[in-house]
Structure 1
Amino acid sequence: MKNFIKLIIITCLTSSTTFGQLFSTQSGETSFFSETPVENISGVNKTVGAILNTSTKEIAVSMKMTAFDFPNKLMQEHFNENYIESDKFPTGLFKGKIVEDIDLTKNGTYDVTAKGQLTLHGITQAREIKGKLTVDNQKITLTSNFDVKLVDHKIDVPKLVFSKIAEVIAVKSKYIFSPYVKK
């Protein structure tokens, strides 16, 4: 499955480019936080795959939903079985393009916006995600903070526990890219 997702991402981003313009990571980090007066819920996934084409400024991110770690097993179980339904919807995806006219081959720090499609829980939504991208020789770091409304992705929360889960989830991402090496 992991190799299949990687193949799809690479195919999408390499249609008119060479591998020398691709940067990737398999150890990106995405975390989320749900804050309510009753309970805070957090999860982190440190095995996020992402690829960035510095020529076309296209980006694709793929994460296995069961790879999120939680402070306790019960939270993880509820996340996967009751809310995200990881057995039906095993992967979260973002595919988009950085809209700013910047040269990603030049060192510097840039405020960026990626316009694209976010797919969670089997529902795809158009999104504009703002972030900060730092180019330092052959290393590119991308960070972003954005919100996800549960209703936008038809993630249902039972009324019994509705007060324990926020309607809007704060998401943070950090990806450190290095030049893609074809294996």
Structure 2
Amino acid sequence: MRGVSLIILVIFFCGASSATAQFYQTTTAHVSFYSSAPVEDIEAVSTEGISVINADNGTISFKVKMRSFQFEKGLMQEHFNENYVESEIYPHATFKGEFLEKIDLQITGSQENTIKGTFTVHGVSKEREIPVILNVLDGGQRINLSANFQVACEAHKIKIPKILWKNIAEIIEVNVNADFQFISK
């Protein structure tokens, strides 16, 4: 199923490929989020993020299943999926955008960049600019992308009952770490 989703992402988000397009993919992106509140801290992790980068035109697409997030406590996971992000109705979080600066595949090592695009969670899309660090590895055969950004629950219409304001933060810290492999030219 991941392979089919990845092919759809390549076709839909990256557009028609030219004969020289350089595509990179991952199906195991590590996505975590952290909520720090007075009563308890909540952390969840998914290693099932899928993403494609077209290094030639600088586009990126990303998708993660909401149900793939694993919590320390099963009840937290249940509440997350049923009461907050409503995973049955809104099964994925997505990002579709482009790098503001061209990715230099000739330079091995770290490059700072920003991706600008549409971030959608809980059925609500917001334009975002997210700073990222890219590491070009193995002579351009691999790219590691890492990002850290915040998501306001209210901005995506994720309702937190007033009675739980001490349990769940209104601003959630999100971390992404993805290893992309070169797939075609």
Aligned pairs (5 A) from 1:90-109: 90-109=91-110
Matched letter for residue 157 of structure 1: I
Give the Cα–Cα distance (whole angstroms) in 2 for the partners of residues 71 and 5 of structure 1.
Answer: 28
Q: Give identity over the alignment, percent.
A: 38
Change (3 A) 1:126 1:142: same
**Equivalent residue, structure 1, for 2:118:** 117
Give the Cα–Cα distance (whole angstroms) in 1 for the partners of residues 22 and 106 of structure 2.
Answer: 9
| Structure 2 unaligned residues grouped into runs of 5+ | none
Kindly tell me the number of residue pairs found equivalent between the two proteins.
Answer: 182
Deviations 1:50-71 (A, max 9, x none): 1111111111100000000000
Matched letter for residue 44 of structure 1: V
Give the Cα–Cα distance (whole angstroms) in 2 for the partners of residues 144 and 130 of structure 1.
Answer: 6
Report SS of the residue matched to 2:70.
coil
**Equivalent residue, structure 1, for 2:6:** 6
Matched letter for residue 30 of structure 2: E
Deviations 1:117-158 (A, max 9, x none): 000000000000001000012110000000000011000011
Indicate conservation of the 8 Å contact 2:34/2:174, yes or no.
Answer: yes
**Equivalent residue, structure 2, for 1:41:** 42
Indicate conservation of the 8 Å contact 2:21/2:54, yes or no.
Answer: no
**Structure 2 length-normalised TM:** 0.92
Superposition RMSD in Å: 1.8
* TM superposition shift of 1:6: 2.2
Indicate conservation of the 8 Å contact 2:21/2:56, yes or no.
Answer: no
| Structure 1 unaligned residues grouped into runs of 5+ | none
Give the Cα–Cα distance (whole angstroms) in 2 for the partners of residues 123 and 77 of structure 1.
Answer: 21
Matched letter for residue 16 of structure 2: S
Alignment equivalent of 1:143, drawn from 146, 155, 162? 146
Change (3 A) 1:114 1:50: same
